[in-house]
Amino acid sequence: MKRKDSAGTQRNIRLIVAFDGTPYCGWQIQADKETVQGTLTAAIEHIAGERVSLIGSGRTDSGTHARRLVASFKTVSRIPPAALVRALNSDLPPDIRILSARVVSPSFHARHSARRKIYRYQIYRGAVLPPHLAREHYHYPWPLDVAAMQAAAPQFVGEHDFAGFASKSGSGRDTVRQIYRCELKSAALRLVLIVEGNGFLQHMVRNIVGTILEIGRGRLNPGDIETIFHKRDRTLAGPTAPAHGLILMRVVY
């Protein structure tokens, strides 16, 4: 039988978190580094008055942003969710914001329960990068065959072994992921890639972007994507695109 004395009074709280990743070494807590998880854990512990274990929907890279990352933690504190949102936002720096908080089932786990994630990668193609776009756009002012890139993007859709698009190699089914959508939109001088999948390996979106850019430059062919899936060889894919163009848009449960 479970211990009930404190566990029985614990609530599981689900947060929606937005952040400007520019000054942070990513989500994951690290000693002596500013991270979103570290900053947010400290704020929660300050308010709840107890140690908490904060679970994020997944890691984000250093410099990458989030519009609606999901995080969860268990607490015996009785603070109502709306008061928690206000208290956290007054404690946190303005570049991390809690958009909402609610009590969820004890079985909810921000990482394990996540079914889909939607990422966005932004590229600015003009000769000079306007300051208001600088934080969230990769500046790529060189010629690109956008039609070839747009034709290549949907090739990532489906169940594939993404070992060749991961920065750490795995084996077997570890590196298989399902992609539901991979679409490149072009408007004026901006390119926006939307990628939706059931999970992502380290640097996977940024490596997909780097590969699509190589196709746009004519250094890779659309057919090379299939080859990289089969050969599982990271060196065949394009370089990792910079982190600051990447935004975690949403997590679906």
Residues making contact with a copy of itself (CB under 8 A): 18-20, 65, 67, 85, 89, 94-99, 128-132, 134-136
DSSP-derived letter for residue 26 is -
Q: In terms of DSSP bridges, do strands 96-104 and 65-75 run parallel, antiparallel, or are they unpaired?
A: unpaired
Whether 145 sits among the annotated catalytic residues: the reply is: no
* Bridge partners, residue 14, by sequence: 72, 102
Minimum CB distance to a copy of itself smaller for 101 or for 182: 101
Minimum CB distance to a copy of itself smaller for 15 or for 152: 15
> In the complex, what is the shortest distance from the CB of residue 136 to a copy of itself, in angstroms, rounded to a whole number?
7
DSSP-derived letter for residue 189 is T
As given in the structure block, the two tokens for residue 148 are: 């070839």
Read off the amino acid at residue 172. G
From the list 61, 91, 174, 233, the catalytic residue is 61
d(CA 88, CA 73): 14
Minimum CB distance to a copy of itself smaller for 91 or for 95: 95
Say which residues have a Cβ less than 8 Å from residue 230's Cβ, sequence separation at least 6: none
> In the complex, what is the shortest distance from the CB of residue 241 to a copy of itself, in angstroms, rounded to a whole number?
19
> In the complex, what is the shortest distance from the CB of residue 131 to a copy of itself, in angstroms, rounded to a whole number?
4
Minimum CB distance to a copy of itself smaller for 135 or for 232: 135
Minimum CB distance to a copy of itself smaller for 163 or for 247: 247
Task: For tokens 């910079």, name the residue.
Answer: 242
Using DSSP's 3-state secondary structure scheme, residue 98 falls into strand
Query: Residue by residue, what is the 3-state secondary structure of 38-84?
Result: HHHHHHHHHHHCCCCCCEECCCCCCCCEEEEEEEEEEECCCCCHHHH
> In the complex, what is the shortest distance from the CB of residue 127 to a copy of itself, in angstroms, rounded to a whole number?
8
> In the complex, what is the shortest distance from the CB of residue 83 to a copy of itself, in angstroms, rounded to a whole number?
13
Contact 222, 41 (CB under 8 A): no
Task: Name the residues annotated as catalytic.
Answer: 61
